[in-house]
Amino acid sequence: MLTRTCLNLYAAAAWAAQPLLRRKLARRGVAEPGYLHAVEERFGRYTTPRPPMPAGGGALVWVHAVSLGETRAAALLVEALRARLPGMRLLLTHGTATGRAEGEKLLRAGDVQVWQPWDTRGAVRRFLRHFRPSVGVLMETEIWPNLVHECAAHGVPLALANARLSEKSLRSAQRAGWLMRPAYAALAAVWAQTEADAARLRALGAPVAGVLGNLKFDARPDAALLARGQAWRAGLARLTSGPAARPVILLASSREGEEQALAEQILALGQNSSAQAAMKNEADAARAEHGARAALAAPARLAPSMESSAEPSTEQWPTQSLVQSPLQSPVQWLVVPRHPQRFDAVAALLAARGLRVSRRSQWGGPGAEQGAEPGDGPPQAAGGLPPAAGAADVWLGDSLGEMPAYYALADVALLGASFAPLGGQNLIEAAACGCPVVMGPHTFNFAQAADMAQAAGAARRVADMAEGVAVARALAADAHARAAMSQAARDFASAHRGAAARTAQAVLALLPGAGAAEGAAAGAPPF
């Protein structure tokens, strides 16, 4: 009785929040127009019909992947499911514009992609009545109480796949235990990434049916993207007229506050090319002034020197102290923000600190459409890089879907969201690309993966951004240590594959049979 009362209170709050959701979508849509697409789907009003099943039967498998990372993990599961379930149709739902854009790549003929319904009873019931999925799979962390309870009421088996739960999230869920414990308990199955995740999920009453590993280990970097990053690296060497590219240090999937911290470190190291130019001008001016003073002080020495330039000067101007020291060798910094809506803000932040910025979206070529109109980029001179890129202090990776290229370009990656108390981004993609990782102290979102990577020699942990930059620069300068970490990263990624096949088999076990599932859904009460 208490559970029903609590759920009724939550349902009333979710219903009352609908006007706030509409306003939020309108605000987000200013920067990301994708949020303005098919808004009524969020409220359970769908115009896209349920896909027909092929002759001989089939199943409509519903996969919910809220955002970009979950969608990429879902892609691996979907591929494994298609191989095992001929005639499968995919119902793909999302919560963010980036997730939906990425999800379009997964669709085949007969598949459907829509927004996840807002968690009101009415919206969820309309969604289930309209599409009648055979089975539902939520990716990683997405638990919505009304959605879970309505699926159970409608006979739709609903599982949580690739499930993870940090200590912080566990504490939050326990504070709302009156709502979240019944929701977790109502799931048909939960498949955890790690034993630690499984223990935390069980503490909330979740029916953990297995520890199947992390789907993201099954991802293999796109060879074309790796080649693109290597071409940029070769182009950098040509632009800077050196036998090899200057080292590239990447801040990967950065979050708010981290770009500012990196900028401060760059400036502290004297890496600002504008500051270097000013120092060089100061040195040239001082040298000229010194020469003029020497000429006035010793006019008799001018005549011999005019007759012959072979006589060496006995006075040497100490210019080396005014220009960059060998310890502070040039580094090409690369920043890739996690969220595309922050691309412009990060570019402005870096420029405001006096750093020269070259934006990926302005280079042109494949993948450059995000942030600029196609064709807006300047002529490409070397490896797809415009000439101005060679003079930039920081490259801004303002594109989507090119992380493997950025990892292939970089010597070392600083792990975003780990230098602020945000839990860290997933380092598995970096490892698969063979990019050594330096991570900050905050990796609670992927604690076990971070610990395993460190133990395997694929990553190093530091206390803050200052130490992270120092360690990254040391690795970039040490080819032997960097090569060892790169190989360790690849070995680490390949050693943990297989979760996609295991999870797909678990999903199939939930299917009661496509025909039976469809009949049960068709008989659901007409809410």
Active site residues: 70
Q: Are 86 and 57 in contact (CB under 8 A)?
A: no
Q: Two tokens at 44?
A: 């359970």
Q: Are 425 and 416 in contact (CB under 8 A)?
A: yes
> CB within 8 A of 50, min separation 6: which ones?
60, 112, 130, 131, 132
Task: State how far the Cα of 35 lies from the Cα of 25, in Å rounded to an integer.
Answer: 6
Task: State how far the Cα of 377 lies from the Cα of 385, in Å rounded to an integer.
Answer: 10
> CB within 8 A of 416, min separation 6: which ones?
251, 252, 253, 254, 255, 258, 336, 338, 424, 425
Indicate the SS3 state at residue 250: strand
Which residue's structure tokens are 């690296």? 233
Task: State how far the Cα of 31 lies from the Cα of 410, in Å rounded to an integer.
Answer: 29
Give residue 263's Cα distance to chain centre.
20
> CB within 8 A of 393, min separation 6: which ones?
266, 271, 272, 273, 274, 333, 350, 355, 356, 357
SS (H, E, C) 380-441: CCECCECHHHHHCCEEECCCCCCHHHHHHHCCEEEECCCCCCCCCCCCHHHHHCCCCEEECC
SS (H, E, C) 108-166: CCCCEEEECCCCCHHHHHHHHHHHCCCEEEEECCCCCHHHHHHHHHCCCCEEEEEECCC
- Considering Cα of 209, then 215, then 217, then 220, what sign does the dihedral take? positive
Length of the chain: 527
